[in-house]
Structure 1
Amino acid sequence: MVGFNSTSFQPATFQLTGFPGQEAAYHWITIPFLVLYVTAMVGNCLVLCIVWADQRLHQPMYLFLCMLSVNDLGMSLSTLPTVLGTFLFHFTDIAFHACLAQMFFIHSFSFMESGILLAMAFDRLVAICNPLRYAAILTHPRIVRIGLAVVFKSTVMLFPFPFLIKRLPVCRSNVLSHAYCLHPDMMGLACADTTINNIYGLFAIVVTYGVDSLFIMLSYIMILKTVLNIASHEQRLTALNTCVSHVCAVLLFYVPIIAVSVLHRFGKSAPRLLHILMSYVYLFVPPVLNPIVYSVKMKEIHKRIFRVFSRDGM
């Protein structure tokens, strides 16, 4: 039975779900999740510490990378309590308002990541297309304003979501499909018209993911035009090489989102396990792989990480 608040048709708690039917193997399933969390935490904290410690790295490209690392840490911390609680301690209940808060933070950090990737595309656009004015355009105060604008936009876009969920009566079940709370999952339990939620959800996705990805694409079209006009083959490769890490980060973020969307719309007959796995990929892959990609491709970060571990090994 679902327990409801006395003043509304909202459940007192939601029940989280891991991998249905695999409860006996949860202690083994916990291991890869622990590895992913530790990798994400250590990798992103290492990037932040390296940039913070070296004044020479207080440049726009590295400052935007720090924003990405902070955001990835936020995303990991948003899911960590309930994911580990579900798989490690078999604790599946979450209070209604705690679920709303987690939903808000997960979607907010996802929206912010999209905005940060757009800011990083702008950074590469200025660096390659207008290198002489790079330092004058991307000053530290302007970078701070860009970061605040990304946070403000994401917060404003997500602000109505908890209220849109609270207005919906839940009278069928309180069992969610994942080990964390997401807006579509919570909305799916409602026994009322969810048209407003669907319309606003689609609007928020178009305004964030849609607009951001469009501008990222336009930025790279302009970058390619500039690079193709460079006479030297070596200079072309050097210019393009500075974009490789960012392109990888964009793909790591948008490909899982597109895959989850396509699976949700057209993969109704696909096994439930596939839906669950793709949802975890969407949330876990960027925070884990972003610091690895940037550590491998950015020479300054790579050198300093190598020095840190060389010192520890001595």
Structure 2
Amino acid sequence: MSASHSAQGKEAPYYYVPADSVHPVRASFSLLLTLLGAALWINSYEAGFWLFIVGIIGLFVVLYGWFGDAIRESESGMNSVRVDYSYRWSMAWFIFSEVMFFSAFFGALWYAREVTTPWLSDLDHQTLLWPNFTGAWPNFGPAGVVSEFKTVGPFWLPTINTALLLTSGLTLTISHHALRAGNRGKTIFWLLATVVLGFTFVACQAYEYYHAYTELNLRFDSGAYGSLFYMLTGFHGFHVILGATFLTVILIRLLKGHFSANHHFGFEGAAWYWHFVDVVWLGLYLFVYWF
């Protein structure tokens, strides 16, 4: 499609509808294999592990093809302004669903620390349920059923990780402004810096987990504190990996000449997600490591 047709396509008052696709069916089948394999794996069936691996690989292959089709449609000018609005609203609702996801875990942390722990330590419950249970947070459970552990404080790795993520948000914003100004070289440089900072965060968190397990004896089964610590920080780390992967794909697309100053929702969508990850980490830094 010529450049003139591409420009007209972006502004045309129509809504592009893709042709019938096999991607949803293949994705569903891959997810079925993944979940079936996981269920068999945790129940000690040897075939479960291999089904899980095949499902995960199949899902990545499907997503590669599916997103590739979407990129080709965008770069060939098939997406009108209405399609662009649709993408933006879809990304906004997706991030809202992620907000609700993390809100549930933050709510669980607050409820365990501020409601159930003091409630179980009052005199009546100590007499009827667990004698000598203390209302301190964290605790080792009634009668010391949880192995003794140490908590993870804010210094120094969590603080270093906070600096890494906040800096990455700044470099990503600089990259975005450079793209809007049409400066592709500056855009690529600062986006590359963002990707490096993101994966450095992941490496630091992996080391933190190693330290917590081997030196602090803090494990997933270390009572409510251990479970919530790893659920919150683990899911956040998973989202950082996803976000850094999104940005890596955007970086590759920039190197291939994709995006323009006025047409770059792929970049913006990944940037929205990354800033959301930054905000979630600030909540974790305050309520998990400090308070």
TM-score by length of 2: 0.30
TM-score of the aligned structures, taking structure 1 as reference length: 0.28
- Ranked by relative contact order (alpha carbons within 8 Å, sequence separation 6 or more), the top structure is 1
Q: Which has the larger Rg? A: 2
